[in-house]
Every structure is written in C-alpha cells, then in structure tokens.
Amino acid sequence: MAGTARFRNMNTRGSRPNEPMPGKRTRPRAMGAEGSILVNAPVSDVYERWLAFEDYPKFITAIKRVRKLDPNHFVASLRFNGKHYEATLEMMLRVQDRRLAWRTFSQGHTPTHLATGVVSFLSHHDRMTRITFKLTSSFGGAVARRVEKYLRNFKRLIEKQIRESEDA
C-alpha cells in the first residue's frame, strides 16, 4: 500500500451529504403545499380569471401590486412577514382551460427567495370547476394555510363575479 501513505496526514473527508459546504451560506428551505376547491363557475371563466395576474392582489393577500411587462412577465410587489419584496413573475406554462404554471424570482436584494405555482382546472357537471393549486415557496411559514386561504379568496371572487354578470 505504498500509495496510501501519501494521504495519511491529509484531510480527505468532504462535507457530509446534508451539511452546507464550509464557507457557503445556506438558502432558505422551500416549503410546498397543495390544495383543492370546487367553484361554481365554468372552467373557461375560472381559467381566464386565474390568468389575469393583475388581479392576484384580490385573492393572494401577500401580493400587493402586479404590473405587466410582457405577455409572460410581470413585476409583483409583495409584503410577507412584515417585509416588502419585489419579484418578477414568469409564466412558464399555459394549457387552455387545463393548467397554468409560473415561477417568481427576486429582483436584487433577496436572490434566494423563490416561489413556484401550478394551478390545474378540471371541469365538473353543472358548470362547476375543480381547482388544484400547488405552491412551493422559500418564504416559509404555513404554506398549506396560505394555499387554502388563497383558494377560498379566489372562490369568493369568481363566484361573486359570476352572480353579478348573471344579474346584469
């Protein structure tokens, strides 16, 4: 074993699998959740409403303002845990009346904060739609509770608008 002697006094052990590399900052751990709700509205109306990113502050309470940059990019102002963030929201996937997917990435000062979302729409009988919302966020803190809240808010919003349009 002539070759092994060369390594006898060297530290050849690297970092352990789930430990950060020495000198490297750790990123916040992403948390994910999924929720589902049945709304009393046709799938095409639900899909179009969810596609209106400028209206996200009406049901996603962490988003305070959205400004459209181009058909697939938006700037969102968020307030979360008492802090203000600016993020770019990028539409990643659109499947008409079936699915939307997007991601957000920060603008500058918080490069590690990221969220991704996928919303699926399934048409049910009697103009009903099942919405399934998956959210992954590195902002942390009760992601499952936020998903439930956002879905309930969206249900109230879309059903109110459907009632108002039928009454008009």
78 falls within a domain: no
Q: Is the pTM of this model over 0.95?
A: no
Q: How far apart are CA 145 and CA 78, in angstroms?
A: 17
Given a cut of 60, whether residue 27 has pLDDT beyond it is no
Question: DSSP H helical segments within the chain, as ranges?
Answer: 43-51, 143-167
79 falls within a domain: no
The total of other beta-carbon atoms located within 10 Å of residue 139's CB is 20
45 falls within a domain: yes
**Residue 40 domain boundaries:** 27-52+92-167
Angle in degrees, 0-180, between the axes of helices 43-51 and 143-167, rounded to the nearest 10: 120
42 falls within a domain: yes
DSSP 37-49: EEESS-HHHHHHH
81 falls within a domain: no
pLDDT of residue 10: 38
The length of the chain, given as a count of residues? 168
19 falls within a domain: no
Looking up residue 134, the CATH number of its domain turns out to be: 3.30.530.20
Give me the residue label for tokens 């990435």: 105
85 falls within a domain: no
64 falls within a domain: no
Average confidence score pLDDT of the chain: 82
pLDDT per residue as tens digits for the range 49-101: 999 988 999 999 989 999 999 999 999 998 877 888 888 989 999 999 999 99
Q: How far apart are CA 150 and CA 70, in angstroms?
A: 25
The total of other beta-carbon atoms located within 10 Å of residue 27's CB is 12
Residue 167's alpha-carbon distances to 86, 114, 125, in angstroms, are: 39, 41, 22
CB 116 within 8 A of CB 103: yes
CB 73 within 8 A of CB 58: no
pLDDT per residue as tens digits for the range 119-149: 999 999 889 999 999 999 876 667 889 899 9
Q: What is the mean pLDDT of residues 29-36?
A: 86
Return phi, psi of residue 96, to 5°.
-45, 125
Domains identified in the chain, total number: 1
